[in-house]
Amino acid sequence: MEYFVQQLINGLALGSIYGLIAIGYTMVYGIIGMINFAHGDVFMIGAFVALITFLVLGMIGITWLPFALLLVLVVAMVVASVYGWAIERLAYRPLRGSFRLAPLISAIGMSILLQNYVQITQGARVKPLPPLIQGGFVIMENDGFTVSLSYMQIIIVALTVILMIAFSALISRTALGRAQRACEQDRTMAALLGINVDRTISLTFVMGAALAAVAGLMFLVYYGVIDFFIGFLAGVKAFTAAVLGGIGSLPGAMLGGLLIGLIETFWSAYFTIEYKDVAAFSILIMVLIFRPTGLLGRPEVEKV
């Protein structure tokens, strides 16, 4: 029982990171109906920016951890947002009126470009970060096995819940959220009603990139090692989470992220770790067969 509880805690922390990345996928798909396959690499860039910012702050003597974390978070979100805006401006907007496969190929090309750009500038070796947030609570203890809840896991889950509530409120109660929902339903009619469609789509990419940067910072601090390839792996998992929960649904993206995190963690704990990805994708295949819209997705209505 203690082992199960510990893996449950670990899975929720990992799933929260996947969920934040998945929200970016589902927001972009909800408006333009395309998957931003470069989104995982924005997550990777956010992690690298956070690592570089930590090193710079240490060099100039800013060592008070709360202030340093806040500063790193702001810098990572700003830089990742710029990358998100650039991806939309360069890889999507010029091809918006083209056939549907063109932006997809362009996004994959942008993903490869970002991976190689980081590999060339930062090197292919893994980049470590010493543990910054240590300690936690002991929840259960039996026969020498201790179930612990670390401070970092609490921060990850709490920050994810806060951001989820904030973004849900933003989309449901603000003018930008109404513009996004209008563009999701009919971009042509939204433009006729005075909504700046290009700006709305750009801001959606920026918001998704900012969330990916938050996930990148949490991944860096939680695991302590990053490399140029983490964006591909995490991006595929987050895309799977978005589809599993229901592409286009923010709560579905978060639910899918939690489920993928739990499946991956429990499989690694009770079975062979080499097949944890197979387990996650097998669940996705079954969901797509029996519920193609995902767990919380709604079937699309074709307008004629």
Residue 302 has pLDDT above 70, yes or no: no
Question: Mean pLDDT across the stretch 260-277?
Answer: 86
Domain-located, residue 202: yes
Full-model pTM: 0.90
Domain-located, residue 211: yes
* pLDDT above 70: percentage of residues in the chain: 97
What is the residue range of 138's domain? Answer: 2-230
Domain-located, residue 152: yes
For residue 304, what pLDDT is reported?
46
For residue 300, what pLDDT is reported?
59
Number of structural domains the chain divides into: 1
Domain-located, residue 293: no
Domain-located, residue 239: no
Round to whole Å and give the CA distance between 176 and 246: 22
Domain-located, residue 275: no
Domain-located, residue 242: no
* 103 burial level (CB within 10 Å; 0-12, 13-18, 19+): buried
- Summarize pLDDT for 177-222 with one digit per residue, the tens: 889 888 888 888 888 988 998 899 899 999 999 999 999 999 999 9
For residue 144, what pLDDT is reported?
73
Round to whole Å and give the CA distance between 90 and 152: 36
Mean pLDDT across the chain: 87
**Phi, psi (5° rounding) for residue 294?**
90, 175
Domain-located, residue 155: yes
For residue 74, what pLDDT is reported?
94
Q: Which of 298, 299, 258 is nearest to 280 (CA)?
A: 258
